[in-house]
A and B are shown apart, each in its own frame.
Chain A
Amino acid sequence: MDTLPPPASGESAAPPTPAQLRELYALMVAVRHLDTSAIAWQRQGLIPGYAPELGQEAAQVGSGYAVDTTRDFVFPTYREMGVARTMGVDMVAYMSTHKATWHGGLYDPLESRLAPIQAVVAGSVLHAVGWAHGQTLDAKDGVALTYFGDGASSQGDVHEAMNFAAVMKAPVVFFVQNNGWAISVPTERQVAGGSVAARAAGYGMPALQIDGDDVVAVLEATRRAFEHARSGNGPVLIEAMTYRRGPHSTADDPGRYRSLQEERDGAGIDPLERFRQRLLADGTADEAVFATALAAAKAEAEQIRTGLTALGSRPGTEMFDLVFQETTPALQAQAASWREESEHV
């Protein structure tokens, strides 16, 4: 499905260069390796929990690669590690949320252009609309990219966000990763009509339903959507069809709701392997390129592990200091009694 008008300038239509293709591959490997490492770290007790994105590397790297961090802003859920990595966010600061150091992560949202990690399903989709409308009011050309899943598409806030964005012609790209599962509930018991993208027509909004496991297709679709929104044409919806190959989180047991055979059938070919074959077939990359990417990914994950291990707890005073910009006497009194009673000051 593709109801997005062809780009006016053709700027976004240019295919990625061989160097960009190799960079996309390296990013996917880095994300895959960090993702699988994070599960191991949870099992080893370094982090209490993690939401894996195994199988969604193409959807996340491809879309995140289209972001211009000098002017755009991205609104993630709790499963956008691949987007964060692609945007160049400090990954120790990002992963700190999974170490239970600080809810939103320790990265600076304004500098990184990535809103704090959002644990309410569909919680930040409306924020993207507000931010995007701010671009219109300020006569700027930034685009808001907001991520959510097939499960989140059931939330009323997603409807409100799409309607608001379409009414106000806000420059928003709604990026749905339809990964087939909302924890244990499959898409067919979640999305009436079978397609989130089909709903866009009701808002008078163009939509693309794409192969979310094809990183190049994802990148090209997202670039087109950005160009459309940036040119003042209003929002676009992209539904990237993919598959959550792992559990919902490290606390989940998919064996209770899907068999291994179902998992294999639903998942299809690994998007990373698929991209590797393509790069090999067209001569863009060879085994040496892949080996270099893997070595870099391993070194990077090790660095992040070292950083996370060294990361101490935040001082308890921050519980009180970061509630308001202007604190209150009651909060100051509570902070004082906490200090006195817990630190015996």
Chain B
Amino acid sequence: MSNSILEGESAGFRQAQSPAQAQSPASTTAVMSMQQALNLALDEVLAENPRTLVFGEDCGRLGGVFRITDGLQAKHGEQRVFDTPLAESGILGMSVGLAMAGFHPIPEVQFDGFAYPAINQIVCQIARMNYRSRGTLPMPITLRVPSFGGIRAPEHHGESLEALFAHVPGLKVVSPSNPHEAYHLLKYAATRPDPVIFLEPKSRYWQKGEVDAARHDADGGSPTGAKVMRAGRHVTLVAWGAMVARCLQVAGLAAEDGIDVEVLDLRWLKPIDAEALAASVRKTRRAVVVHEAPLTSGLGAEVAQLITQACFDTLKAPVERVTGFDVPYPSGDLEDEYIPNIDRILFGIQRVLEYKRG
């Protein structure tokens, strides 16, 4: 089995032959890629709320470098969907003023690494304006960031920013793992009155999956909660973004060895659904958290602490972390060595299963 993040469809989603073939007129379910699901969500958000605006570098005529905004300018007009000059601080600073004027900006930063030039506007302005203004100037800004690695992109095009943003008071952070989640989480985020950093796993943009537009969670779960993507009894894999599909692959392989793995898609990285973490690990009594971001001070540490706090008495082993390394994100040739792969996740599972109390 290949370890490439681009290959290997997740076990949880059926592969469609083509969108047209998969669409059924009697059903609200369609099979589409995450790129299509995000595009559909933005299209609907623009139609439903006349105060929403979609903008950023190349978001208008081109439809974005990942085509997430494809066709939206033609449909909703150049005032609602537009290109900005090439300056990220400008895009986010302008978003603050638009929000103050009563709009709901949905800006795009073209790639994760280019959120850094806008960090003052995101951290010192967007995150604090509601607080600074005592709630009179809310910041309903949904910042879309094509995120994480796995596409052999140039430097600064494969960063994992979730821990950085989750650490900032005043921001909320979410990352979808598949087309269905992408559609619903973006539609939800784009109706919130608070700033949401929406981290899109760019390596999953082109994988297809079923999107049920009518219903987000079949079990009636909260749109702000985590979601069990595969139930299991022996160990919980905690992941988000592109790592969810990889963990589902791992779960399938582990099942062949009789290991029953539960996969929990955290979805919201701030606020983290601590109750869902506790519920899962109370049952499995073992947990491995998987993320692409570097190990030290990554969100895996936060997840491990939340689990330990809630499940200390029943944990069979310390929570394991399988993550990227404390190195600058490497060139494409080495990214498969960096991103947690199937073997490393399986080793993590093995460590928690074989742990013996000293």
Contacts and interface: CB of A to CB of B under 8 A. Distances in A.
B192 A326 contact: yes
B87 A164 contact: yes
A116 B129 contact: yes
Contacts of A329: 271, 274-275
B120 interface: yes
Contacts of B138: 325
Interface string A242-264: 00000000000000000000000
B95 A130 contact: yes
Contacts of A137: 53, 79, 103
Interface string B146-184: 000000000000000000000001101000000000000
Nearest to A328: B271
Interface in A26-57: none
Contact of A330 (B87, B95, B137, B272): B272
Interface string A83-104: 0000000000000000000111
Interface stretch (A153-161, A212-220, A231-239, A291-299): A153-161
Interface in A104-123: 104, 106, 108-110, 115-116, 120, 123
A152 interface: no
9 contacts: A102-B132, A109-B100, A127-B100, A130-B101, A134-B103, A137-B53, A137-B103, A157-B121, A318-B134
B25 interface: no
Given A116-B129, A157-B89, A160-B87, A127 B97 contact: yes
Interface string A306-345: 0000000000001000111110111100000000000000
A130 B100 CA distance: 8
A325 B100 CA distance: 14
Give chain A's interface residue range (CB within 8 Å of chain B).
35 or more
**What is the predominant secondary structure among interface residues of chain A facing chain B?**
helix
Contacts of B258: none
Interface of A: 73, 102-104, 106, 108-110, 115-116, 120, 123-135, 137-138, 144, 156-157, 160-161, 163-164, 167, 318, 322-326, 328-331
B101 A156 contact: no
Contact of A128 (B97, B137, B194): B97
A267 B301 CA distance: 56
Interface in B186-208: 192-194
Interface in B263-298: 270-272, 274-275
Nearest to A156: B89
Contacts of B105: 130
Contacts of A133: 94, 97-98
Nearest to B137: A109
A102 B128 CA distance: 12
A323 B129 CA distance: 9
B312 interface: no
A245 to B, nearest CB: 29
B120 A120 contact: yes
A164 B90 contact: yes
A138 B133 CA distance: 23
B93 A322 contact: no
A134 B132 CA distance: 21
A196 B84 CA distance: 24
A330 B98 contact: no
A201 to B, nearest CB: 18
Interface string B58-79: 0000000000000000000001
Contact of A123 (B120, B134, B275): B120
B135 interface: yes
Contacts of B103: 134, 137
B97 to A, nearest CB: 2
Contacts of A138: 101
Given A134-B103, A144-B97, 15 more contacts: A104-B133, A110-B137, A120-B124, A125-B93, A126-B92, A128-B97, A129-B93, A131-B101, A160-B90, A161-B90, A163-B85, A164-B84, A164-B85, A324-B170, A325-B138
